[in-house]
Structure 1
Amino acid sequence: MSPFLGELLGTMILVILGCGVVAGVTLRGSKSEGADWIVVSIGWGLGVAMGVYAVGSFTGAHINPAVTIGFAAAGTFPWADVPVYIAGQMVGAVLGACVVYFHYLAHWSKTEDKGAKLGVFATDPAIRNYPANLVSEIIGTFILVLGLQFIGANEFTEGLNPLITGLLIAAIGISLGGPTGYAINPARDLGPRIAHAFLPIPGKGPSDWAYAWIPIVGPIIGGVYGGVFHQAFFVGNVTPVFWIFTVIVAAALVHAFMNDVQGTKQTMQPGQNHQA
C-alpha cells in the first residue's frame, strides 16, 4: 500500500467514526441523540484507534498533518514524505465526511439547528476568542504529539499502541476538549469543513471560514512544539527550531492573556458591583 493511500484510508476511517459519533449525538431523530461529551470523546478515540490499526503497518498511521509535521520537525520523519502524507490525509478527511453525510441522510432535514449540522463536520469554540482558542488548540496538539512519542518509546505497548493512542485522544477530549471541541488535527477539521461547504445538506448555514484557520494553525504549532520539546527534554537534542517555537508558543500565551485582561476591563463598568 502506498503512503498516500494508507494515510487516505486511515484518515477516512478516523473521520467516519469521529464525525459519525457527533452526528449521532446531535442530529434529530438519531437513536443516540442527546448523548453527552463523554460519548463523543470516546467515539473519536476509538475512531483514531481503528484508523491506526488499519494502516499503522503501512505508513505509521499519522492520519494527522500536525503529527506528520511534528515528527518531521523532530527529525524522526523525512520532510520529503510530508506532502504525500498530508495530501492523503486531506483527501481521506473529505471522503470520510461524505460517507457520514450519506449515512445520516434522513436526519439532515429533520435537524433545524444550522450550527449542529456544521458541528458534525467541523469544530467551533464554546467561547469565540481567537487568541484563547488558538492557545487551546496548541496545548491539545502539544499533548497529543508528546504523548505519541511517549507511547512509541515504550516496548511494552507494542501491539496495543493503536488502542492506547485512542485512549490518549479520548483523554485529551475529556480533559482539554471543552473550549474548542479539540480539532488537534488540521485535516480532521478542514476536510470535513470543505465537505460541508459543497454537500447539498438541507437547511445548512455557512461553513464558518472566519474560524477555520484556528484548527489549522494551532495544531501545527502545537505539533511542532511537541516534537521538538520531546527531542530537547527526553533525547537531549536541543535544536534552533525548539527555541523558535518556544518563543512562538510563549508569544501566543502572552497575547491570549493580554487579550483576556483587556476584554475583562472592557466589561467592567464604573460603579457596578462585580462581587459574586
Structure 2
Amino acid sequence: MSNGHIVIGELFGTAVLILLGGGVCAAVTLKKSKAKDAGWVAITFGWGFGVLGGAYIANGYSGGQLNPAVTLGVAIKTGQWSHVPYYLIGQFAGAIIGAFLVWVVYMGQFAAHLTDAEVLAGHDVDPAGPSTRDESLPGGPVLGVFSTGPEIRNAVQNLLTEIIATAVLVLFILTQGMTNGLALNGLGILLTALLVVGIGLSLGGPTGYAINPARDLGPRIVHALLPLPNKGGSDWGYAWIPVVGPLAGAAIAGGLYRLCFT
C-alpha cells in the first residue's frame, strides 16, 4: 500500500462519509427538504450508512479508516506510524470536499432556509444542533448540518462524552482483527457501521457524537468559508472538544488494547 493509495482512499472514503452524514443532517434540518423533521433516528442511520459506504469505497486502497481517531488507535496498537500523516491528509481533505458537496446538493434549500422569516426569528429548530436557539450562544441556524454542538454547554461533560464514545468505537475496531493496521474485512465494516448507529442512538444526545476530528473540523471550516446569508458563527470556541475528545478516546482505547487484549 503506497502513500498515494492511502491519500486517495481516505480522501474518497471520507468525502462519501461526510456527504451522506452531512447530507442527512441537511435533509432533516432545511426547509423545502422532503425529509424535514425526520428526526434523530434518521440522522444516526444516515451517518451509519455514510460510514458503510465510505469504508467500503476506501477499503481496498487505504483500509477505510476515515477518522484520525481510528488512525491514532491503529498506530498505537501496531506501532506503525509512518503512514499516519498520509491518512490525516486524505481524511481532512475528504471531509472538506464532502461538506462542500452537501452544500452543492442542498444549495436551494440552504438559500430558502436562511432567508425564511421563521428561521431568522429563531422559531424553527435545527434538529441536528441544539434543541433551542439561544442568540447569546455562538452558532447559527445551519451549523448543525456541518458540525456538532452540545445540548448543554459544559466543557468537562462534553469532552468526557466524546472521549467515552470514541473509546468505544476505536476499541471495537481494534478488536475486530485489524492486526495489520490496514483493513477490516467486509463484515467488520458492516459491524462498525452498525456500531456508529448505536453510538449515535445511545451516546449522541449530549454532543451530537463527533467521534471523528475530521468529521467535525473539516465541515466547520466549510461552514466558515461558504457565502451563506444569515448563517451565524461557526462556534470556534467549542471546536477543540470534538478534536481533542476523540483523539484522547482513541489513545485510551489503544492503550487498553495493548494492556488487556495482547
- TM-score normalised to the size of structure 2? 0.85
| Matched pairs, number | 232
After TM superposition, the structure 1 stretch with the greater mean CA deviation from structure 2, 180-189 or 112-121, is 112-121
Q: Which runs of 5+ in 1 are unaligned?
A: 236-276
Who is 1:47 aligned against?
50
Given that residues 140 and 176 in structure 1 are in contact (C-alpha distance below 8 angstroms), is that contact kept between their aligned partners in structure 2? yes
Aligned partner (choices 20, 25, 29) of residue 22 of structure 1: 25
Q: How many angstroms apart in 1 are the aligned matches of 2:108 and 2:162?
A: 33
Which residue of the partner structure matches residue 118 of structure 1?
Answer: 143
Consecutive unaligned residues of structure 2, counting only runs of 5 or more, are: 120-138
Q: Decide whether the 8 Å contact of 2:71 with 2:87 is kept in 1.
A: yes
One-letter amino acid of the structure 1 residue matched with residue 261 of structure 2: F
TM-score for both structures, normalised by structure 1: 0.81
How far off its partner does 1:77 sit? 5.4
Runs of 4+ in 1 over 6 A off after TM superposition: none
Secondary structure of the equivalent of 2:140?
A: helix
Matching residue within 126, 132, 136 for 2:161: 136
8 Å contact kept, 2:56–2:186? no
Amino acid at match of 2:45: I
Distance in 2 of aligned mates of 1:46 and 1:21:
10
1:212 equivalent in structure 2? 239
Aligned to 1:270: none
Match of 1:261 in 2: none
Measured in 2, the distance between the counterparts of 1:158 and 1:212 equals 33
CA contact (8 A) 1:144 1:168 kept: yes
Give 1:96's aligned residue.
98
Deviations 1:49-81 (A, max 9, x none): 11111011211111000111111122x252111
- Greater fraction helix: 1
**Equivalent residue runs for 1:161-176 within 5 Å:** 161-176=188-203
The answer as to whether partners of 1:108 and 1:202 remain within 8 angstroms in 2 is: no
Q: Counterpart in 2 of 1:244?
A: none
Structure (1 or 2) with the larger CA radius of gyration: 1
Please, which moves more after superposition, 97-106 or 78-87?
Answer: 78-87
1:185 corresponds to which letter in structure 2?
N
1:59-115 deviation per Cα after TM superposition (whole angstroms, max 9, x unaligned): 1111000111111122x2521111111011000000000000010000112224463
Q: Find the partner of 1:197 among 221, 224, 230.
A: 224
Residues 77 and 9 of structure 1, relative CA distance in 2, 3 Å threshold: farther
Give the structure 2 partner of residue 148 of structure 1. 173
1:34 aligned onto 2:41 = no
Q: What is the distance in 1 between the residues matched to 2:160 and 2:149?
A: 14
CA contact (8 A) 1:27 1:116 kept: no
Quick one: which of 104, 107, 110 aligns to 2:109?
Answer: 107
Name the CA distance, whole Å, in 1 between partners of 2:258 and 2:162.
21
Comparing 76-85 and 119-128, the one that deviates more = 76-85
Tell me the C-alpha RMSD between the 2 structures: 1.6
